[in-house]
A and B are shown apart, each in its own frame.
Chain A
Amino acid sequence: MRKIIVMCLIGMAVAACTSIDCPVNNTVRTYYALMKADGTPDTLKKDTMWVWTQRIDGTDTVISRQIQGNLELNCFFGSSASTFDLPISYTQPEDVLCVLLRNSVGKNYIDTIRIKKDDIPHFESVDCQASYFHTITDVSVTHHVVDSIVINNPHVNYDQNTTHFKLYLKANR
């Protein structure tokens, strides 16, 4: 009988435990890869690039960290960085991103990227922040310094090990 009581107490103790199982990677962002025309990874070299967008209240906001084309600054695990990530809006049907690229001699190029998407509400638990996943349906660019942009993976979610867009910059910038 004592064994039974002990088993019941252990069972009750285990059953009484609660845990919060929110995903560790719970940010929804888009991941870009700079590419050369021949399909190999590209870098900004000595160029600098800013990306910004316009908020609903009309104020411009820089939404990306400044991407320095310096190999040492963008170096992860001994290899040069040629990728960056940007946020994506929760429910806007189209995100408009402005890209400013300043080359090594100080010349500026501005491009506008337009991303159309479907928004999918995503729920994990009442303890985890609500979020939106997205399916990218279309992307376009103004082609001043960006030669082209291609959708590589249209599904935007918690996955941080993917590339949603391949960005081809003009070689003679």
Chain B
Amino acid sequence: MTKIPHISSSISRLTVSLLLLVMGMGSTQAQVTKMFTMEKDSIPLFCGFSVSFDLVGPAMLMLSDHGEYEGALRVNLHDQWFPIFEMGLGRANHENDEVTGLTYKTTAPYFRLGMDWNILRKKHQPNRMYAGFRYAFTTYNVDIIRENLPDPIWQTASGFGVEGMSCNMHWLEAVLGIDAKVFGPLHLGWTVRYKRRLFHNDGTLGTTWYVPGFGTNDKDQLAANFNVIIDI
């Protein structure tokens, strides 16, 4: 006569097996967690502000007929991410061109908002290298004047141009920069920028010449800044 196992003993055997399995898995998971536990980073997320101003724009204003005054406020997040707000005042005063006789004047603010990333492997050191982007825009009024423009055939002279023509431009910038600590909170740095025009309203005369913050009007533009940076 064959002995039939009692159902209660089968259930208890299954329960014991499952408990052993779960306990085994728990100990394995603890071992894995122990192996890959990362050390806690001692650098906080918020590491302070820095303010900066550019020296290339004022130098261009001194040496030519257009340029910018520009400053920036940058937040340091964990020495890795740097949200940045830049603001400037662009100016052009090209009077009575010696060849074309044209006068071009504008003075207007411009604004940029973006983010830089510290692309160096060792983030927490005084020198940094950045890659980043900016979204920028400006609204500006421009005077374009050519007094007594002569008609070569009919020999009449006409006043050419407009005053206070309202224009605007929106553009994107790809930024590559370096930043080196000099002493204390003082840093010096370069940024090289590729600017790409997005939207623009050039008024009623066809096109404009100098756009504050962008440079001479084109679909794209290259520029460089030399920044004096102070950590706060």
* A residues at B contact (CB < 8 Å): 4, 7-8, 11-12, 14-15, 18, 21, 53, 55-57, 61, 63, 87, 89-92, 120-130, 132-133
Measured in the bound complex, the distance between the Cα atoms of B222 and A8 in whole Å is 12
Of A21, A87, A121, the contact of B205 (CB 8 Å cutoff): A121
* Contact residues in A for B224 (Cβ distance below 8 Å): 8, 11-12, 15
Of B190, B218, B222, the contact of A21 (CB 8 Å cutoff): B218
Can you sample 6 A-B contacts with CB below 8 Å? A53-B154, A56-B156, A90-B154, A123-B206, A123-B207, A130-B100
* Contact residues in A for B99 (Cβ distance below 8 Å): 127
Once the chains bind, are B146 and A92 in contact (CB under 8 Å)?
Answer: no
* Contact residues in A for B176 (Cβ distance below 8 Å): 7, 11
Measured in the bound complex, the distance between the Cα atoms of B210 and A18 in whole Å is 13
Tell whether B144 is near chain A: CB-to-CB under 8 Å.
yes
With contacts A7-B176, A7-B192 taken as known, whether A126 is within 8 angstroms of B158 at the C-beta atoms is no
Closest chain A residue to B92, Cβ basis: A126
With contacts A55-B154, A57-B155 taken as known, whether A14 is within 8 angstroms of B222 at the C-beta atoms is yes
With contacts A21-B218, A122-B205 taken as known, whether A90 is within 8 angstroms of B100 at the C-beta atoms is no
Query: Closest approach, in angstroms, between the C-beta of B164 and any C-beta of chain A?
Result: 15
Closest chain B residue to A18, Cβ basis: B216
Once the chains bind, are B151 and A91 in contact (CB under 8 Å)?
Answer: yes
Closest chain A residue to B64, Cβ basis: A18
* Contact residues in A for B204 (Cβ distance below 8 Å): 120
With contacts A89-B153, A121-B160 taken as known, whether A4 is within 8 angstroms of B100 at the C-beta atoms is no
Tell whether B162 is near chain A: CB-to-CB under 8 Å.
yes
With contacts A90-B151, A126-B104 taken as known, whether A11 is within 8 angstroms of B160 at the C-beta atoms is no
With contacts A123-B206, A125-B209 taken as known, whether A56 is within 8 angstroms of B158 at the C-beta atoms is no
Measured in the bound complex, the distance between the Cα atoms of B154 and A61 in whole Å is 9
With contacts A126-B104, A130-B100 taken as known, whether A91 is within 8 angstroms of B207 at the C-beta atoms is no
Tell whether B39 is near chain A: CB-to-CB under 8 Å.
no
Q: B137-170: which residues lie under 8 A (CB-CB) from chain A? A: 144, 146, 149, 151-156, 158, 160-162
Measured in the bound complex, the distance between the Cα atoms of B176 and A148 in whole Å is 64
Once the chains bind, are A124 and B206 in contact (CB under 8 Å)?
Answer: yes
* Contact residues in A for B61 (Cβ distance below 8 Å): none
Once the chains bind, are A4 and B154 in contact (CB under 8 Å)?
Answer: no
Once the chains bind, are A63 and B149 in contact (CB under 8 Å)?
Answer: no
Once the chains bind, are B160 and A130 in contact (CB under 8 Å)?
Answer: yes
* Contact residues in B for A8 (Cβ distance below 8 Å): 178, 190, 192, 224
Once the chains bind, are A89 and B149 in contact (CB under 8 Å)?
Answer: no
Measured in the bound complex, the distance between the Cα atoms of B176 and A14 in whole Å is 14
Measured in the bound complex, the distance between the Cα atoms of B162 and A129 in whole Å is 16
9 new A-B contacts, CB < 8 A, other than A126-B102, A132-B160, are: A4-B178, A8-B178, A8-B224, A87-B152, A89-B151, A90-B149, A92-B154, A122-B206, A130-B149
Once the chains bind, are B94 and A126 in contact (CB under 8 Å)?
Answer: yes
Tell whether B41 is near chain A: CB-to-CB under 8 Å.
no
* Contact residues in A for B152 (Cβ distance below 8 Å): 87
Once the chains bind, are A130 and B153 in contact (CB under 8 Å)?
Answer: no
Tell whether B129 is near chain A: CB-to-CB under 8 Å.
yes
Of A7, A55, A124, A130, the contact of B155 (CB 8 Å cutoff): A55
Closest chain B residue to A14, Cβ basis: B222
Measured in the bound complex, the distance between the Cα atoms of B223 and A34 in whole Å is 52
Query: Closest approach, in angstroms, between the C-beta of A167 and any C-beta of chain B?
Result: 20
Once the chains bind, are A15 and B192 in contact (CB under 8 Å)?
Answer: yes
